[in-house]
Chains A and B, each alone.
Chain A
Amino acid sequence: GEDVEQSLFLSVREGDSSVINCTYTDSSSTYLYWYKQEPGAGLQLLTYIFSNMDMKQDQRLTVLLNKKDKHLSLRIADTQTGDSAIYFCAESMGIRNTDKLIFGTGTRLQVFP
Chain B
Amino acid sequence: DGGITQSPKYLFRKEGQNVTLSCEQNLNHDAMYWYRQDPGQGLRLIYYSQIVNDFQKGDIAEGYSVSREKKESFPLTVTSAQKNPTAFYLCASSIVAGVETGELFFGEGSRLTVL
Contact = CB atoms under 8 A, between A and B. Distances in A.
Interface of A: 4, 6, 8, 31, 33, 35, 40-45, 48, 88, 92, 96-101, 103-106
Contacts of A100: 45, 48, 58
A42 B92 CA distance: 9
Interface string B36-66: 0000111111001010000000100000000
Contacts of A92: 102
Given A35-B104, A45-B104, 20 more contacts: A31-B100, A31-B102, A33-B103, A40-B109, A42-B92, A42-B106, A43-B92, A44-B106, A48-B101, A88-B43, A96-B96, A97-B99, A97-B100, A98-B50, A100-B45, A101-B45, A101-B102, A103-B43, A105-B41, A105-B42
Interface of B: 4, 31, 35, 40-45, 48, 50, 58, 90, 92, 94-96, 99-104, 106-109
Nearest to B109: A42
Given A105-B42, A106-B42, A42 B102 contact: no
A100 B50 CA distance: 11
A36 to B, nearest CB: 11
Contacts of A43: 43, 90, 92, 104, 106
A21 B58 CA distance: 26
A106 B37 CA distance: 10
A80 B101 CA distance: 28
A96 to B, nearest CB: 6
A4 B107 CA distance: 23
A21 B54 CA distance: 36
Contacts of B58: 100
A101 B42 CA distance: 12
